[in-house]
Amino acid sequence: MSKPLSAAGRWFAAAAFIEGFTWAGLLVGMWLKYGLEVTDLGVWLFGRLHGAAFLFYAVVAVAAGVRLRWPLWALVVALLAAVPPLVTVPVEMWFRRIGLLGERAS
């Protein structure tokens, strides 16, 4: 049984999902623009949303890392997870499983 998430853990989980969702939207937008060559609306919209989500995720990851006293490796992994597409969600699931998002992460 996993520990309940702390407030910072819930913020991190939400930010990871939002960042991953906007990455997926941007990838679909790029496929529509460059693959099918039908519209650039997806890139226009999700490019902006993903930029904001990326910054939000980075701020929340640092805040959660400080608040929950993550080891340095966890903070680095969390920040690097935002670079390749769709990695923030599995990292959040991993952090949840190993207890880094609970009330008293060590």
Residue-wise pLDDT for 45-64, tens only, equals: 999 999 999 999 999 999 99
pTM of the model: 0.90
pLDDT tens digits, residue range 78-99?
A: 999 999 999 999 999 999 999 9
* Per-residue pLDDT, 105: 44
Q: How far apart are CA 84 and CA 21, in angstroms?
A: 13
Q: How many CB atoms lie within 10 A of CB 22?
A: 22
User: Please, is 97 exposed, middle or buried when counting C-beta atoms within 10 Å of its C-beta (0-12, 13-18, 19+)?
Assistant: exposed
Phi–psi pair at 82, nearest 5 degrees? -80, -10
Q: How far apart are CA 102 and CA 106, in angstroms?
A: 9
* Per-residue pLDDT, 106: 46
Could you tell me how many residues make up the chain?
106
